[in-house]
Structures are given as C-alpha cells and as structure tokens.
Structure 1
Amino acid sequence: MKIIYAKKSSGIDEQGSFQNPSYYDKPSPSAKAVVIYGDYPQIKADYEKLGIEVEVRDLPEAKPLTIDLKVGISPELQVIIDEAKAECEKVTAENTILAEQLATAQGELIAFKNDIPAMQARIDELQPADKKPTAAEVKAAKAEQAKE
C-alpha cells in the first residue's frame, strides 16, 4: 500500500492512502511506499528505519484563478438609484432649512429671555387660532342651555 502524507489532497494527482501529517504518531508497517508532501523529517526517518522507500516532494503550487466580470446597472436599478439620490438631496435641503429655523428660534429665545411681555406675545402668535365649534357641539350647547 502506498501512503501519501499531505495537509491537503487537492492538486495531488496520484493514487494511495492519504494521511494528514498533523495526526501522525507512528509508521504503518504495511506501507510499501511513502510519499511526503512538505517538510516532515520525523515521518521520513521512521519509515526509513523500517526499510520502506520514502519520497519527499514539494507541495504543488496552486494555479491562479482569474475571473472576468462585466457588471452593468440595469435600467430598473438606475431608476431606483436616481430616486434615492433625489430623496437624499431633498432630505439634505430640509435639514438645512430646519437647522436655519432652529438657529432663528435659539436667537429669539436669547432675545426674549429677559423680555417677558415680548415672549408672551410670540407665544400667543404661535398658538393655533381658536377653532369654530362643530355643528354637533353647537347643538349640544343649545340643548344644555334649554335644560337650564
């Protein structure tokens, strides 16, 4: 039996019993020939003591893999990208406006800090206008007055 010691069997084109040299503990006396891929002097010495032919080989070099990809953007994807860019620009513009409004509000707060009447006037200005009562509210109020 031919024993082949190698970390990986890929790329090795020969027949035999593949063994991982990391798990080697003693030689197999049933071996007729031994091939070792890599530098494992203890394995070689053990088999030579038994008089078994040992051949040490360099690991086969991996062949480089080249892939040529031609990737393009589909029209559907381009539409989505364009929409996303437009949305980003819109949000950026809104953020700029909000930052300006915040700066203005902070300036007003500082200006009104010690001017309570001016601050109250601004608060009143920002309050929503009184809403007109709904027809149901008017009807309920009239019914309440009629009971009294």
Structure 2
Amino acid sequence: MELTYSAQTTGFHSDTRYRNPQYFDKPESGVTKVTVVGDWPVVVDAYKAAQVDVDVVELSGAAEADPAKMGVADLRDWLTAQGIEFDPKAPKAEILKLIPAS
C-alpha cells in the first residue's frame, strides 16, 4: 500500500490514500511506499527506520522557486501542495494558467 502524507485541504486525487502528518504517531503496517509533502521529518524518519521507500516533495514558496520555471512533474507537485486542483492530463501550457498571480 502507498500513502501520501500531506496537510493539504483540497486537490486530492481519488486514486491516492492520504494521511494528515499532523496526526502521525507511528508508521502504518503494510505500507510499501510513502510520499511526504512538506517538512515532516518525524514521518520521514519513522518510515525510513521501518525500511519503507520514502519520497519527499518539498514545499516551496514564491521566493524559493518560481513555479512557472518548473518542469511538469514539479509543477504538478507544487500545485497539489498549494491545494490547487488541475487535470493531471493537462499540458504544461494549461497548468501554467493555474499559477496564482503574485
């Protein structure tokens, strides 16, 4: 089973199992891969200690990274982390239109 730990409140994908990292107390059994969105070192360390494959998606503010200059995969991760819904099959040109004006 794969899990995504994210504090997002919107933009969920129906084929993904989510957990809110704020309520994390221990790794779940049967998990084979974890994606952690944001800075949640307790979650990352616990799953790594349980020898589970862990991917971390860094949240980046506008000052840290310009989403308009990101690759498609990073841009999709960024939009998801921001809680912005999008069609996962949309081309980059369409996804770029979803970036909020700053």
Aligned match of 1:54: 54
Deviates more, 1:49-58 or 1:1-10: 1-10
Deviates more, 1:5-14 or 1:34-43: 5-14
Q: Deviations over 1:41-92 (max 9, x none)?
A: 1111100111100000024244217xxxxxxxxxxxxxxxxxxxxxxxxxxx
Name the count of aligned residue pairs.
Answer: 65
Identify if the C-alpha distance between structure 1 residues 36 and 14 changes in structure 2 by more than 3 Å, giving closer, same or farther. farther
Identity of aligned residues (%): 28
Aligned match of 2:100: 64
CA RMSD of the aligned region, Å? 2.1
Greater fraction strand: 2
Unaligned runs of 5+ residues in structure 2 are 60-77, 83-98
* Paired amino acid for 2:100: P
Unaligned runs of 5+ residues in structure 1 are 66-148
Greater fraction helix: 1
How far residue 13 of structure 1 moved from its aligned partner, in angstroms, is 4.9
How far residue 32 of structure 1 moved from its aligned partner, in angstroms, is 1.0
TM-score, normalised with respect to structure 2: 0.55
How far residue 14 of structure 1 moved from its aligned partner, in angstroms, is 7.6
TM-score, normalised with respect to structure 1: 0.39
CA distance in 2, matches of 1:9, 1:35: 16
1:13-32 paired onto structure 2 within 5 Å: 13=13, 15-32=15-32
4+ long deviations beyond 2 Å: 9-16
Q: Which has the larger radius of gyration?
A: 1
Aligned match of 1:42: 42
